[in-house]
Amino acid sequence: MKLVKNENEKLPNKVSDKEAEEAFKTILKWMGEDPSREGLLETPKRVVKAFKEYFKGYSEDPKSILEKTFGDVEGYDDMVVQKNISVQSHCEHHMAPIIGIAHVAYIPKERVVGLSKLARVVEVFSKRLQTQERLTMQIATTLMESLDAKGVAVTIDSTHQCMTMRGIKKEQATTVTNYYMGQFKEDLSYQNRYLRFIAK
């Protein structure tokens, strides 16, 4: 039986910053550049620093972000919608940027979460190598499970630079993904209201 590693379990860091810098030097040589010229001397170090920011989501646990909730909401039980959350990620096929926006909604059962936490969950999953489909589902399932919500809806609308800068080079192409859970999936009236909200 194949064992599946818990996605929140940190992988051992077997590669040092110095080793990563040497790898980037090799890539510069492969490109036809001279890593020893003045303008590139510090580039490997800068790229390693940048990659730590691009992919910091691997060291963060999105479920821990949602641990603190609030029950003093006087019985509020309608959807909470947060629109236009910026998304900056990288596709796992070409490591090219994915740039777009996410819309997130949930229907609380008894407790709500701080509004900034919704954007933080999007951020954590975005800062990993991704496909947009998986990113959409990861955000939705984490919110549904961690908040014990009645329903969750997530929409991402983004541009993939692996399509705009290489390959087919369709600069205006955008990709939209949706994922619905709970009442959003079971009751089309919730879906329709949500879609109207995010279209405004």
Determine how many CB atoms are found less than 10 A away from the CB of residue 160: 24
CA-based nearest residue to 81, from 55, 111, 115, 56: 115
- What separation, in Å, do the N-terminal and C-terminal C-alpha atoms of the chain show? 49
Q: How far apart are CA 94 and CA 87, in angstroms?
A: 17
- For 112, list phi and psi in degrees, rounded to 5: -120, 165
Residue 195: how many CB atoms within 10 A of its CB? 15
Cβ(94)–Cβ(162) below 8 Å: yes
Q: Is 26 left (phi over 0), alpha (psi -120 to 50) or beta?
A: alpha
CA distance 80 to 113: 10
In this structure, the chain runs to a length of 200
User: Which residues are tagged catalytic?
Assistant: 91-94, 132, 160, 162
